[in-house]
Amino acid sequence: MHNVVLLIDDSELDKSIYTRFLESTKNQDEYRVLTLEDPNQIPQIFKSVNIDCVLLDYKLENNKNGLELIHAIKQHSPYSGILFLTGFGDETIATKAFKLGADDYLNKSDLSQSRLEITVKNIIEKKQNQLAQAKTNRELNLLRKAIENSQSLMMVCEPEVGLFITFNQQVCRFLGVSELAIKSHSFMSFTDYFNSPAEWRKFVAELQKKKVMQIEANLINLDKEKVPFEIDCNYSRIDNKDYLLFSGTDISRLTKIQNELQTLVIKDPLTQLLNRRGLIASYEKTLQVATRENYAFAFAIFDLDNFKKINDIHGHQAGDTVLTQFSDLLAKKFKRALDIVSRVGGEEFIVIVTDKDKASIRQLFNDVIKTSPAVTTPSTTASCGWVCVQGNSQIKNYDRLYALADKALYQAKENGRNQCIEAKLT
Given this chain, do its domains 150-254 and 267-422 carry the same CATH topology?
no
Nearest Cα to 220, choosing from 186, 255, 192, 248?
A: 192
- C-alpha span between 425 and 385 (Å, rounded): 13
Ranges in the chain, pLDDT < 70: 28, 89, 140, 142-144, 146-148, 255, 259, 426
User: What is the pLDDT at residue 281?
Assistant: 86
CA dist list (Å): 115 to 2, 92, 95: 19, 22, 20
CA dist list (Å): 235 to 150, 153, 168, 209: 21, 17, 18, 9
**Residues 101-107: contacts with CB under 8 Å, at least 24 apart:** 101/70, 101/71, 101/73, 101/74, 102/56, 102/70, 103/127
**Residues 150-156: contacts with CB under 8 Å, at least 24 apart:** 151/249, 151/250, 152/247, 152/248, 152/249, 153/219, 153/229, 153/246, 153/247, 153/248, 153/249, 154/246, 154/247, 155/187, 155/245, 155/246, 155/247, 155/248, 156/243, 156/244, 156/245, 156/246
User: What is the pLDDT at residue 136?
Assistant: 78
User: What is the pLDDT at residue 426?
Assistant: 67
- Please give the CATH number for the structural domain made up of 150-254: 3.30.450.20
Q: In the CATH scheme, what architecture does the domain 267-422 have?
A: 2-Layer Sandwich (3.30)
User: What is the pLDDT at residue 146?
Assistant: 63
User: What is the pLDDT at residue 307?
Assistant: 95
CA dist list (Å): 38 to 10, 58, 97, 181, 424: 10, 15, 20, 62, 115
Q: In the CATH scheme, what architecture does the domain 3-145 have?
A: 3-Layer(aba) Sandwich (3.40)
pTM: 0.49
User: What is the pLDDT at residue 137?
Assistant: 79
Task: State whether the Cα torsion 8-14-19-22 is positive or negative.
Answer: negative
Query: What is the residue extent of each domain of the chain?
Result: 3-145, 150-254, 267-422
